[in-house]
Amino acid sequence: MKGWTKLLLDIVMGAVVPIIILNNLTRPLGAPLAYVLAALVPVSYVLIDTFAISRRFNAITTYVASTAIMNGVLAFWFVDGWQYALKDTAGLIVAAGLFFGSLLLGRPMFEFFAAQVFQPDTQQKERAFRALCTKPVVRQGLIAATVIVGTANLMLGVINFLLNLNIVLAPFGTESFNAQVAQVNAITRVLFPVVSLGVFAGAFYLVYRAFFRVLPSEEGKSQFESEFWDLVRLWEQGGASA
């Protein structure tokens, strides 16, 4: 699925459909049931996409699926006020913790993202990829990208918490509560994915440039005209000392 199509589908399933449910089904279904249904739609979408459509199982999809399951469980924690604001921010808190925690463990999270982009699908490629990741320039790029995305998640988390704290003021189980949740979702579940996409694009650019600063060029070609793994083979043939 192409990037923009995936983003549009994410917004429709993560924001548009839940907002429609909250605004139109609260009265006929009752506020609590409509809230749970709206909360489970994006969770179900992520799990179906992970296990039935894309079927790509790796560290990243495991994290995405785990977060979706966590959000599904939290949907049944019926709270309001600051507790609801905290609950709705849990995914962003976990994401920020994961990115910063990966730095403490010595494996920047973006190393896993880079692996999904470059696809080291043989043992030889895996060894070469790991060797590239130890190079100071590449490691600095991986760390910088991880910090950027972790900081973005932290900032979005603060904004999300404050929006919920100041907008979702009604008691849980009321029509007003669902309407206020829909109001916040109209902001966060449309704007946040777009912001996240931009942040990830910038972080990927840093990582991409870091790898290509280490790799050589093929004679008569720009690096960007060459296949990544062709350049890796040249790098290894040259003693992998760049």
pLDDT of 191 reads 92
Q: Could you give the CA distance from residue 208 to residue 14 in angstroms, rounded to a whole number?
A: 29
Work out how many domains the chain is built from and give that number.
1
Q: Is residue 242 part of a domain?
A: no
pLDDT in tens, 122-160: 999 999 999 999 999 999 999 999 999 999 999 999 999
Q: Is residue 207 part of a domain?
A: yes
pLDDT above 70: residue 229: yes
DSSP assignment letter at 221: S
DSSP assignment letter at 241: -
pLDDT in tens, 163-191: 999 999 999 999 999 999 999 999 998 89
Q: How far is CA 39 from CA 19, 26, 34, 140, in A?
A: 10, 13, 9, 38
pLDDT above 70: residue 241: no
Q: Could you give the CA distance from residue 117 to residue 84 in angstroms, rounded to a whole number?
A: 36
Domain that holds residue 145: 3-237
Q: Is residue 58 part of a domain?
A: yes
